[in-house]
A = this chain, B = another copy of it.
Amino acid sequence: MSEAYVHGYHPRENERLQDQAGTLVELLHSDTSYPPGSVVLEAGCGVGAQTVTLAQRSPRARFTSVDVSADSVAEAKRRADAAGLTNVQFQQADIFALPFAAESFDHVFVCFVLEHLSRPVEALAILNGLLRPGGTMTVIEGDYGSTYFHPDSSAAHKAIQCLVELQRLAGGNALIGRQLYPLMVEAGLEAVHVSPRMVYVDSSRPDLVDGVTRKTFTAMIEGVRESAIEAGITDPEAFDAGIRDLHRTTAADGVFCYTFFKGVGEKRRRA
């Protein structure tokens, strides 16, 4: 894959990604299941945060889950074993150089991967080539520009912008969620349908306050503190003020909003 990551590799990040999958799993995955016998590629499985959900929801489909990082693949395999999964095989592989035959998968699943890539359309086109005609591609991405909250705070928006900027410097795009439709169409997919998955959090939903606002989103932004300061994008005082204001949105009168996007498209059928 040869792409720099802004997040996803450190142990505390792994924990965060797992929290994220636990809290948001229904929102993101409830409408994805694959029929018995179907052969599915999960491209960019990372540490397996989505793999366990995916494979458990389609127990009679067979999954191949790949990631560019051998360490991540090892951790993903450990998790799949711990969950007792028997329908997933793991493999280290680069999305831009996948060792699979053309049209060898019934379905492809890609989650939280495109945001890290400088050539997302090329990646989707390669994956499209691995799909049999009529097979489906499912893509899920977040969008940091979809974030807003109460009380509003320019310091908090600037802290979020640090992650967006670091992602951009690393060749990625933290605002990619909103672009799924044009990206998937440009990659050659047909019948593309994108649906937003908005997370709305107020204090009547304490599980989301803790699981989404605090432990997923704010933790994710906090995670880029040192990198953003080192890169000269912010300074400690400004950044910490933004983090304080993000935590402020978890108070009894606070509100937090974030949106994921899920796109499903189809591989062109033969004429």
Rounded to whole angstroms, the CA-CA distance of A152 and B195 in the bound complex is: 19
Rounded to whole angstroms, the CA-CA distance of A213 and B75 in the bound complex is: 45
A259 cross-chain contacts in B, Cβ below 8 A: 198, 257
The reply to whether A196 and B257 contact each other, CB–CB distance below 8 Å, is: yes
Is A91 part of the contact surface with B, judged by Cβ < 8 Å?
no
Rounded to whole angstroms, the CA-CA distance of A198 and B148 in the bound complex is: 13
- Residues of A181-231 whose CB lies within 8 A of B: 181-182, 185-186, 192-196, 198, 200, 202-204
Rounded to whole angstroms, the CA-CA distance of A181 and B200 in the bound complex is: 11
Is A89 part of the contact surface with B, judged by Cβ < 8 Å?
no
The reply to whether A175 and B192 contact each other, CB–CB distance below 8 Å, is: no
* Other contacts beyond A148-B178, A150-B179, A198-B259: 13, CB < 8 A: A143-B148, A145-B148, A145-B152, A146-B148, A149-B178, A150-B178, A178-B257, A181-B202, A181-B204, A194-B204, A196-B200, A196-B257, A257-B259
